[in-house]
Amino acid sequence: MLYYALVFFVIALIAAVFGFGGIAAGAASIAKILFVLFLIIFIVTLLMGVVRR
């Protein structure tokens, strides 16, 4: 489960680079939404992994 948390965190970081870095100006709003979404999924899976142990 912690593996999935790490994967979602990496995806959130990539979305943050595109959304907040201005690299993809046309898709910045979508990247910001994806950043928040994957950050929430990361936190949920991280908590689920910690609770299971």
**Which residues, at least 6 apart from 28, have a Cβ–Cβ distance to it below 8 Å?**
18, 19, 20, 22
Q: How many structural domains compose the chain?
A: 1
**Mean pLDDT of the 6-20 span:** 83
What are 14's two structure tokens?
């990539």
Q: What is the pTM of this model?
A: 0.64
Q: Residue 18's pLDDT is what?
A: 77
Q: Which domain holds residue 45?
A: 2-52
**Mean pLDDT of the 29-43 span:** 86
Q: Residue 31's pLDDT is what?
A: 77
pLDDT at 17 over 70: yes
